[in-house]
Amino acid sequence: MAFPERFDSLPDYAFPRLRKLLDSHKAGAEPISMSIGEPRHPMPTFVAEVMAENVSQFAVYPPNEGTPELLAAISGWLNRRYGIDVSNDRLMVLNGTREGLFNVAIALCPEEKNRKTPIVLMPNPFYQVYAVAALAMRAEPVYVPATAATGFLPDYASLPAEVLDRVAIAYLCSPANPQGAVATRNYWAELLRLAEKHDFRVFADACYSEIWRVAPPPGALQVAEEIGADPERICIFHSLSKRSNLPGLRSGFVAGGVKSIARVRHLRSFTGAPLPLPIQRVSERAWSDEAHVAENLALYQTKFRITDEIFAGVQGFQNPDGGFFLWLPVDDGEAAALKLWRETGVRVLPGTYLSREVEGDNPGKRYIRVALVAPKDEMQRGLIRLRDCLYR
């Protein structure tokens, strides 16, 4: 029996790889998990109430694109957050942003670009669904280094013109996973102008947009409107997972141009996976409420201050501008993760599991990713163990 070959180059997913690395070894102390970006702050108090009020709506099929009330709540949030007016026909609700980042590529990536195999650009390291979406479309994934030398954001403009002319989609996550770098207004504007020049789309993954240190990150759609870019040129993806501590709700949205979203909705009508109505009702409330978001942000900003204190004087340490990961330099990420587990029980993710080797170099090899999601005291214990084990 034949199997498709287009996914044969995929390594094991990051967390099965981590289990293979660590689980045959005994933890050196009471385990503290800092490997997965699963928020552990309290979820909003209204979730159970709204879900209970609407539980009977599990008995009916939900609207494909989202309820009018949910689309209005999202539109209202975009206006409050970014000062932009986005009509309901430019929005679609997602069953988690990962679904959207994959399926929107299927809906919008052309089969050819200038009579050649299309290219999908992504930063390296990157969120793994970007590569799978490219391979599913038989496009060529191109991994562009996002290292300290480039401010931990990819320098897409440095690519040769013959490469850029084949690009169909460029993914960018800001704040970045795993490095926490934030794309400035100028960065977004230059990327959108590059997209106009070479005729490709930008997929802006803004999953971590509501977790930041000093100032809220600018939005790609906001900048697109400011510079008069074609709204069909960009799709933005937002989620309640990190903003509202609701990763299990699997609720997000995509916003873009009317034509682009019409194609995405059309594909969804065939492939399914709309959000159940009780989840949409909870989402309506979550996008309309900022109090719980402010409380969540305050908790993370306290954690950033604790992290600054713990790692003061550690060479190469840099707290993120946004998001909730530390991207810590080490000699070898796998060796450091194994040492840390065996000696302290702290579980972190080797950076190489989030990146690809290109021309003999893997930009994540000399890093570990540390998630600051645990309760404050547990996080503090874990970081002190990590510092004393790896940096002293």
Low-confidence ranges of the chain (pLDDT < 50): none
pLDDT for position 6: 85
Residue 223 token pair: 């900048």
Establish whether the linkage from the previous residue to 178 is cis, with ω within 30° of 0. Answer: yes
Residue 355 CA to residue 136 CA, distance in Å, equals: 19
- What are the CA-CA distances from residue 113 to residues 139, 144, 161, 185, 199 (Å)? 10, 19, 14, 28, 9
Residue 152 token pair: 């931990």
- What are the CA-CA distances from residue 162 to residues 113, 200, 264, 328 (Å)? 11, 13, 29, 35
Single-letter code of the amino acid located at 223: V
Work out whether strand 367-371 and strand 325-329 pair parallel, antiparallel, or are unpaired. antiparallel
Q: pLDDT tens across 29-86, in order?
A: 999 999 999 999 999 999 999 999 999 999 999 999 999 999 999 999 999 999 999 9
Residue 311 token pair: 């790692």
Closest CA relative to residue 391, chosen from 325, 324, 353, 346: 346
pLDDT for position 162: 97
The residue behind tokens 């059309």 is 266
Cα 98 to the center of its chain, rounded Å: 8
What domains sit in the chain, N to C, each tagged with a CATH number?
Answer: 14-42+292-390 (3.90.1150.10), 61-289 (3.40.640.10)
pLDDT for position 23: 96
The residue behind tokens 């933890």 is 27
**Among positive and negative, which fits the CA dihedral 130, 131, 134, 136?**
negative
